[in-house]
């Protein structure tokens, strides 16, 4: 069978490369890389009480909100964005 032959040769190839040979093949592909910067643990928020306590910004009052997106989304062009 063709499929069986393909599989046999692929697995044999993997065995022949061995652990170090396989690792050499890793980095060639096209990709985005991001150092997993040491981010702040989110649970720190649980002890740090907000210094904006008492301000309207954080407590769900509508006047602080913006109902229309205002960020970099305007740079995304094309796409049939209107819902059909």
Partner 1 sequence: MPGLREVQERFSANVLDADAVGIAADVKAGAFEPRLRLQVYRNNVFTGLTDALRAVYPVVEKLVGEGFFLYASNEFIKRNPSTSGDLHAFGSGFGSFLATFEPAKKLSYLPDVAQLEWNYHEVYHEADADAMDVDALQLIAPDQYERLQFRLNPACRLMQSVFPVIEIWRVNQEGYSGDQTVDLDAGAVNVLLLRQGEEIELHPLDAGDYAMLAMFARGDQLGDCLGAAQRIDAAFDLTGFLSRFVGNRALIDFTAC
Partner 2 sequence: MPDREFFTCDPIPASAGIGLRGPHYREVVESSPKVGFLEVHSENYFGRGGVPHAYLERIRRDYPLSFHGVGLSLGSTDPLDRDHLRRLGQLIDAYQPDFVSEHLSWGSFGGRYLNDLLPLPYTEEVVNHLVERIHQVQDILERPIMVENVSCYLEFEHSHLSEWEFVASVAESADCDLLLDINNIYVNAHNHGFSAGDFLHRVPGSRVREIHLAGHTIKHYDQGTIIIDTHDHRVCPQVWALYREAIAMYGPKPTLIEWDSDLPELDVLVDEANIAQSVMQETDHARVA
Residues in touch with partner 2 (CB under 8 A): 36-51, 53-54
* Residue 5 interacts with, from partner 2, partner 1, none (CB under 5-8 Å by kind): none
**Alpha-carbon distances of 59 from 21, 47, 50, 70, rounded to whole Å:** 57, 18, 11, 21
Q: With binding defined as CB under 8 A, does residue 24 bind partner 1?
A: yes
First to last CA, the chain: 48
- DSSP state, residue 30: -
Q: Which residues bind partner 1 (CB under 8 A)?
A: 3-4, 6-11, 13-15, 17-19, 22-36, 39-43, 45-46, 49-50, 52-55, 57-60, 64-73, 75-79, 81-83
């Amino acid at each position: 069978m063709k499929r069986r032959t393909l599989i046999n040769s692929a697995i044999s190839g993997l065995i022949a490369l061995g652990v170090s040979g396989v690792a050499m093949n890793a980095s060639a592909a096209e990709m985005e890389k991001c150092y997993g910067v040491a981010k702040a643990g989110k649970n720190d928020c649980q002890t740090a009480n907000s210094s904006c306590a008492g301000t309207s910004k954080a407590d769900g009052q509508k006047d602080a909100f913006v109902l229309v997106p205002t960020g970099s989304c305007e740079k995304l062009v094309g796409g049939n964005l209107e819902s059909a």
